[in-house]
Amino acid sequence: NAGVTQTPKFQVLKTGQSMTLQCAQDMNHEYMSWYRQDPGMGLRLIHYSVGAGITDQGEVPNGYNVSRSTTEDFPLRLLSAAPSQTSVYFCASSPTSGSSYEQYFGPGTRLTVT
């Protein structure tokens, strides 16, 4: 199993540009999530999904969209990038149906918005 994979590893955007961060898992996990990590702030939940076709907002959802058309994929879209979205983004998945227990994280995408 490849586990949780994320692409790209690094990305630089200009203010106002849009892009999609890709996340995929091959473990057949129902629960998937997106976090952002900023210095001194820990990890904060952006959006999550408890299964295909079901998504919901986390603590910091503004400026981000998600969709979940398959169990494997959970892309994160930045609609109009802002410097405040400069961060490291992590995707995670959990084998525990309907809950966020035992989340396994991908390697992250480091995003810089200029």
Partner 1 sequence: QQQVKQSPQSLIVQKGGISIINCAYENTAFDYFPWYQQFPGKGPALLIAIRPDVSEKKEGRFTISFNKSAKQFSLHIMDSQPGDSATYFCAASSQAGTALIFGKGTTLSVSS
Binding residues vs partner 1 (CB under 8 A): 4, 31, 33, 35, 40-45, 48, 50, 56, 58-59, 90, 92, 99-108
Comparison of 17 and 43: residue with beta carbon closer to partner 1: 43
Q: If residue 39 lies in a helix (H) or strand (E), which one and from where to where?
A: none
State the nearest-atom distance from the C-beta of 80 to partner 1, in Å. Answer: 25
Q: Tell me which residue of 30, 67, 23 sits closest to 47, measured CA to CA.
A: 67
Residues 6+ apart with CB under 8 A from 33: 45, 46, 47, 48, 49, 58, 74, 91, 92, 93, 94, 100, 103
State the nearest-atom distance from the C-beta of 85 to partner 1, in Å. Answer: 19
Comparison of 55 and 85: residue with beta carbon closer to partner 1: 55
| Cα gap 3→42, rounded to integer Å | 23
Comparison of 33 and 87: residue with beta carbon closer to partner 1: 33
Comparison of 17 and 22: residue with beta carbon closer to partner 1: 22
